[in-house]
Amino acid sequence: NINAINFGWVSSSPLLDYRLLKTIGEKYKPDVVVLSLDLGDFGDDIIYTRMLEHRDIFLFARYLPGTTFLLESIANTLSDNQYESLFGYPKSPMFANEWPLERSRPYIEAYSQRIIDNIARYTTQELHAKFVLVMNPRSFQYSDREALQDWNRYMNKRTENSFEIFRYMDELHTTRNYPVISLLSGLQNTTVFPTTFGTDSHWNR
């Protein structure tokens, strides 16, 4: 018998998951902690880290919250290269889908991968549970028939680098002591259709 508790929430990412796990995770007494990773998590982790540290466009957030919107509006007028040079991180939250692995790797490892390793360490050493990392594909990575009217389609498009993140996940098998599981092949070979909502690329029931 397996009892599962969904510990995530909309627009969460490894950093927020880690903070919640450390705060109340022990009360659940888990045997296994499964972290579900998404392409958008890498950009979210960078933003949430800078937000918590009150850096860049969040510099004055604790005192004058409205300035974040103003600074963000100004920052968005910069080109991708100007933005990256000024702030030290990618402008696009979907950079892991758009860039070759050699370019995205430093950001992945400095933010999300560091946090994931912390979650794994906390899970095994403090919660005395097993840790598993699962990588979820976006619908455009396994089908060209899904969510054709996606309201968020500018973030959900296949590029020549869309499968680089799975190459990175394959590498983790040899460098980490926890299981790393990809759902890509399963969804590439599924006979179920549709797997997403027509106007939203999130999976349906």
Question: Which pair of structure tokens corresponds to residue 72?
Answer: 């963000």
Between CA 88 and CA 83 the distance in angstroms is 8
Q: Are 57 and 65 in contact (CB under 8 A)?
A: no
Instruction: Specify the length of the chain in residues.
Output: 205
pLDDT of residue 6: 86
Q: What is the pTM of this model?
A: 0.93
- Please give the share of the chain, as a percent, with pLDDT higher than 90: 84
Q: Over the chain, what is the mean pLDDT?
A: 94
Degrees, nearest 5: CA angle 121-99-107: 35
Nearest one of 185, 181, 142 to 162, comparing CA atoms: 142
